Amino acid sequence: MMMTPNITSQALLLAAETNDDDDVVKGGKTCTTEIFQDNVKEKYEWKISWRNVFGFIYLHGGFFYAIYLIGSGQAKLFTTLWNVSLGLCAALGVTAGAHRLWAHKSYKAKWPMRLLLVIFQTMAFQNDIYEWVRDHRVHHKFVDTNADPHNIKRGFFFSHMGWLLIRKHPDVKTKGKTVDMSDLEEDPIVIWQRRTYLIVMPLLCFVMPTLVPYYLVNETFWNAWYISIFRYMLSLHITWLVNSAAHIWGVKPYDKNISSSENATVGILAMGEGWHNYHHVFPWDYKAAELGNYNVNVTTGFIDLCAKIGWAYDLKSVSREIIEKRAKRTGDGTLKHSTDPNHHMNNVWGWGDKDMTSDDVNSMTGRGGMNYASKKKT
């Protein structure tokens, strides 16, 4: 389970890319669509990645078969719970690791936490940290443009998973080269993961999750295999919701001019990554949200716990004053309702409540249209 790209998520065999000057995909189909940007009509060819298409067909088939195995009781309970626990760990590798630590540098972590997060993130199989961070920084830097890897302007399906089924738009490649990645290039643990990824990732994402229940509780091999696929695909779709649903549905208390929104459902499912309007406005806040409510932001609770034991430090946040100034300048006016659980406390119970304002009193009229304030004076 996971964030989010963006949170950016690239799954299975992910996407061998063609060169910028390629005209066709060998053995593939080229689709053409027209993109309008900056009042310029541009032809953009959708070059389908058939390897990813067929890979996702198999994975989704395995996902639905696993649901049948779980629902019919053919899969052992241990196998399901084992994969749920692995999914939660993998999610933290993405949300607390690739996203908040490496992509946004919103806090710092000592080597035990960094190593743990690298292991968890590798288990998630959403590309290595370097590639994940590069795509996510490009998403933030060029959100809602052709350079955004999962540009929401191309629709829900494209931003959810369609972008993984075609080659990247040329602007993604061009603009991606302008994003500073020097910090990751100098990070030994990130470079180590990148070099060993194709060996370690299959072991952590599929082999180990399958063999443990197979040997430990005598689960059948294929049951264990398909339940591991279920865990992987469920985590991908939750991650993708951050890119799709959280860019379509929800309020925009902090900036109404961008697509990212506050989506509570995604926030809960993605362990705190759905408070997306705030996150795009203040991406350096380690909470990825204004409030650190652990019920809807499990990742923040994990980081705070690591801070208590000395693993995480220099946790960055944003002052309430700055938040309110930004919301007043660019928000949609929903800030108080979306952030203050007691926003309703100044309401009144009816006529005669001591908290009624003079404007409330003066606005009241009777059935005949008589103003109550003037009637009271007479």
- 78-92, 163-177, 325-339: which is most confident: 78-92
Q: What distance in Å separates the CA atoms of residue 77 and residue 317, rounded to the nearest whole number? A: 41
> Domain residue spans in the chain?
50-352
Strands (E), 61-139: 108-109
Rounded-to-10 torsion of CA 122, 126, 132, 138: -170
Tens of pLDDT, residues 250-289: 999 999 999 999 999 999 999 999 999 999 999 999 999 9
pLDDT band at 294 (very low <50, low <70, confident <90, very high): confident
Q: Which residue has the higher pLDDT, 42 or 142?
A: 142
- Pinpoint the alpha helices (H) of the chain: 50-71, 77-92, 111-124, 129-141, 156-160, 170-176, 182-185, 188-202, 208-216, 221-243, 264-269, 276-281, 298-308, 320-330, 335-339, 358-362, 372-377
376: tokens are: 């009271």
pLDDT band at 351 (very low <50, low <70, confident <90, very high): low
- With a cut of 90, say whether residue 298 has pLDDT above it: yes
Overall average pLDDT of the 209-228 stretch: 97
Tens of pLDDT, residues 33-59: 444 344 444 667 788 999 999 999 999
| Secondary structure letter of residue 43 according to DSSP | E
Q: Are 193 and 129 in contact (CB under 8 A)?
A: yes
Q: Determine the length of the chain.
A: 378
Which residues face 30 on adjacent strands? Answer: 47
Tens of pLDDT, residues 179-193: 999 999 999 999 999
- With a cut of 60, say whether residue 175 has pLDDT above it: yes
- With a cut of 60, say whether residue 26 has pLDDT above it: no
What is the reported pLDDT for 140? 92
Confidence (pTM): 0.79
pLDDT band at 341 (very low <50, low <70, confident <90, very high): low
